[in-house]
Amino acid sequence: MQFIRKNTSFLLIGIAYIALSVYFTWQDQAYLSLFPFALLAIYFAIYYTEWTFLSLAFLTPISINIEEYSQSFGLFVPTEPLLFGFLILLLLLQIQKQVVPSKIWQNQLVWAIGLYLFWILITSITSTQPITSLKFLLSKIWFIVPILGFGSSIFQDKKNIQRFLWLFVIGMMLVITYTLIVHASYRFGEKEGHWVMWPFFKDHTIYGAIVALIVPLVFGLYFSKKHAPLIQAILFGFIGVTLLGLYFSYTRAAWLSVFAAMGVWALIRFKIKFSWLAGIVLVAGTILFFSWDSLQMELERNKSEHTTEEFGEKLQSATNVTTDASNLERINRWSCAIEMFKERPIVGFGPGTYAFEYARFQDPENLTIISTNFGNLGNAHSEYLGPMAEMGFLGILAMLLIVAAIFYKGITLYNRWPKEDREIRTLLLAMILSLTTYFVHGILNNFLDTDKAAVPIWGMCAVFIALEMSLEKKTLSAQD
């Protein structure tokens, strides 16, 4: 009875919620029963901002696109409503008092992202479909601004960096385990491997990209410090589950991106000088330029398709540009993006418009069995060519500046961070390699318009910004 007296209000709210849920379900409007959860999320966001923000990391892998269940607009629940709420909260708090650290505006990474958002705004005005482009701009703002705004402050506490990475990895472990169990019921068939991650991921390409992204993070958490035996065993299990998930994703681009990350690790680990790397790239580029015709002939002889279970043959099929429909369709999309850029090189067709515009740029010789004359099957399949087609020269330049700023900040921080702080140095290296997997994968696909990629990518950017500000504070304190 004493418990009831002390918690009367909560009990009444609970009873009211159950009653409303039953009523809405009876009226075939069960989705309205989620409204109280929205109110609860607002309460926690205001009074427990830090933990609600960190919860995004866990919720992102298990979020679901409501478009899959209705004919309405696409929205990832619960992450996108939370991010939009955080955006409003950030603006209100910033008006009342300064929440975002003032030094954030001195960061080159923030300037690069600011240029990117500014150019999206300009090209939305000149867009062939302004409404579509303005929606694209709004989604970019609520993906980027609240994460960088709150993250740059929250991640100055190093424990929150660990919590964010742990929560994201745990969320992905749940999804990978679910996917492997469902996939096992189909004997790990490759055709079934394209959709068994539903409803958490749309298909195996984005699933593979995010599984590849967490590979360095899991290893980073494992090697960051000496854990208790139980935690060590759990992380070892995570590594096994992640590698299994990566293999059975049947995503060749994801596999290649992990190999690329291993190459970057070697460059950082053995402190390869930039001048040497630039020289190697220059020599390789020269050889590629003068042997392009013979290389193209060799590629055309490659008839390997990813129809067998052999890992080596699957990787070999990645260079098949003759009969592999997936590769051919990707080339078709890239060719369309280049032709679109040629027609409107300054401002492009407008952010988010590629899917509506590319159909008329398809060359009949590039069409495949999975092509469509309606141009309704997605984007440019490139994190770089997409902005080029939609936002012109400055679009691709802004994207490349962001990537350059991310790796410059990450590697500089890793080299400058005190060697005594092994944990943060190891996690920094893990995040650099994690971002490598994504932006190498970004040559072949683009997923930054989804919460699955946006939350971890911009979250790690916020970590870099926060750590740089912390390092500057330590430097100033030492000088004083």
CA distance 303 to 51: 52
- Tell me the pLDDT tens digit for each residue of 413-469: 999 999 999 999 999 999 999 999 999 999 999 999 999 999 999 999 999 999 999
**Gyration radius of the chain's alpha carbons:** 24
In the chain, what is the straight-line distance between the N-terminal and C-terminal CA atoms, in Å?
Answer: 60
Of 286 and 376, the structure prediction assigns the larger pLDDT to 286
Using CA atoms, how far apart are residues 234 and 406, in angstroms rounded to an integer? 30
pLDDT tens track for 161-171: 999 999 999 99
Listed by start position, the domains of the chain span: 37-66+74-273+379-468
Per the prediction, the chain carries an average pLDDT of 84
User: Which two structure tokens, joined as six digits, stand for 67?
Assistant: 């478009």
3-state secondary structure of 77: strand
Specify which residues 64 forms β-bridges with. 77
Q: Which residues pair with 77 in a beta bridge?
A: 64
**Cβ neighbours of 169 (radius 10 Å):** 21
In this structure, the number of other CB atoms found within 10 A of the CB of residue 50 comes to: 13
Structure tokens at 25: 């379900």
Q: Residues 6 or more apart from 408 whose CB is under 8 A from it?
A: 108
CA distances from 116 to 119, 137, 144, 151, 256 (A): 5, 10, 11, 19, 28
The total number of residues shown for the chain amounts to: 480
Q: Are 132 and 353 in contact (CB under 8 A)?
A: yes
**Would you state the pLDDT for residue 5?**
47
Q: Tell me how far apart the alpha carbons of residues 24 and 34 are, in angstroms, rounded to a whole number.
A: 10
CA distance 392 to 3: 64
Distance CA 459, CA 365 (A): 42
Q: What is the pTM of this model?
A: 0.87
pLDDT over 60 (residue 14): no
Check residue 6 and give its pLDDT. Answer: 47
pLDDT in tens, 211-245: 999 999 999 999 999 999 999 999 999 999 999 99
Residue with tokens 């989620």: 34
Instruction: Name the H helices within 270-348.
Output: 274-290, 292-301, 311-316, 325-343
CA pair distance 49, 54, nearest whole angstrom: 9
Q: How far apart are CA 92 and CA 479, in angstroms?
A: 36
The two three-digit tokens of residue 430, written as one number: 């893990």
CA distance 51 to 34: 21
- Best-predicted range by mean pLDDT (40-49, 120-129, 297-306): 120-129
